[in-house]
Amino acid sequence: MDPHRQGDLTEAIVIAELKRRDIPVSVPFGDNERYDLLAEDDSGGIWKLQVKTGRYRDGKVLFNGKSQHTNASGHTYQEYDGDVDYFVIHCDEVGGLYLVPESEVGSQMSLRVADATQDHRTINWADDYDFDERWPPEPATTGWRDAVIADLRERGIDVLGARGGDAPYDVVVRDADETLYRTSIRPGSVSGGRVRFDTGSTHAPGRDDVDLVLVRCRDTEETYLIERDAYDESISLRVEPTRNDDKRTHRAADYTLDRRWPPA
């Protein structure tokens, strides 16, 4: 089956599955929206869902977390980066329906259905993302950006106001030496033992745009400070300790606001 029809089929199956669970679902008019469906939870919350077809391979359900389109310069790839709240993955081969937060998905993700030869920490077990276990989603954390700003002020750090217009940073902060730092504040979450945040999207700040990135992780309830020069395209902070102390590993504990402020 050609990919477009496959996508339509999966979307139809997901709509049927949601209806079967008495979940109100709406389909956006036209195909100009980045999400496929809108679903309503019991409390009236509206969630933007992106439907994906899962491919079963080597005991895992694989799916892509980005959309691809073609222009004059060739293929371009775009992550959803907040344009959707959740991915709903249906895999025909295993008959599974999974709900995965957008923030936990990179360019692609695999959900392990079959037992693995080795019990790997980074395995994303499909059962953990079972739709019926995950629905309804937890209400979105509101005011996390304000929480970070409050965190900064609590430490006596000067916050010189929020951005205006299309500036790539959220606030400017000032240290005791009167040095100013353009700072981007991003939401993060723990996945696969790592704190992840959106570093590679079209909306993410580049090295020339900001000096610092503050990541508020909802799972660890910690704020991490990362100097923008510390990474190129992306960085992930490992929450759980590793047995082999690899030099390339970035430990989240080393990047907490308390340990990193003021910037070197």
Partner DNA sequence: CTAGTAACAGTGAACCACGC
Partner DNA sequence: GCGTGGTTCACTGTTACTAG
Enumerate binding residues for DNA (CB under 7 A).
2-7, 10, 31-32, 36, 51-53, 55, 57-58, 60, 64, 67-72, 74-75, 77, 106-110, 112, 116-124, 191-193, 200, 233-234, 238, 242-244, 246, 248-249
Q: CB 178 → DNA: shortest distance, Å?
A: 35
Q: CB 148 → DNA: shortest distance, Å?
A: 23
Q: Which is nearer to DNA, 11 or 211 (CB)?
A: 11
Task: Give every CB contact of residue 151 below 8 A, 6+ residues apart in sequence.
Answer: 223, 257
Q: Which is nearer to DNA, 33 or 227 (CB)?
A: 33
d(CA 185, CA 198): 11
Q: CB 54 → DNA: shortest distance, Å?
A: 7
Q: CB 9 → DNA: shortest distance, Å?
A: 9
Phi, psi (deg, nearest 5) at residue 150: -65, -40
Q: CB 236 → DNA: shortest distance, Å?
A: 7
Q: Which is nearer to DNA, 21 or 121 (CB)?
A: 121
Q: For residue 122, how many other CB atoms are within 10 A of its CB?
A: 8
| SS3 state of residue 217 | strand
Q: Which is nearer to DNA, 105 or 173 (CB)?
A: 105
Q: CB 63 → DNA: shortest distance, Å?
A: 7
Task: Give every CB contact of residue 119 below 8 A, 6+ residues apart in sequence.
Answer: none
Question: In Å, how far from its chain's centre is CA 67?
Answer: 15
Q: Which is nearer to DNA, 110 or 256 (CB)?
A: 110
Q: Is the peptide bond before 28 cis (omega within 30 degrees of 0)?
A: no
Q: Which is nearer to DNA, 221 or 246 (CB)?
A: 246
For the record, the structure tokens of 117 come out as 């030869």
d(CA 221, CA 48): 25
Nearest to 192, CA basis, from 120, 116, 100: 120
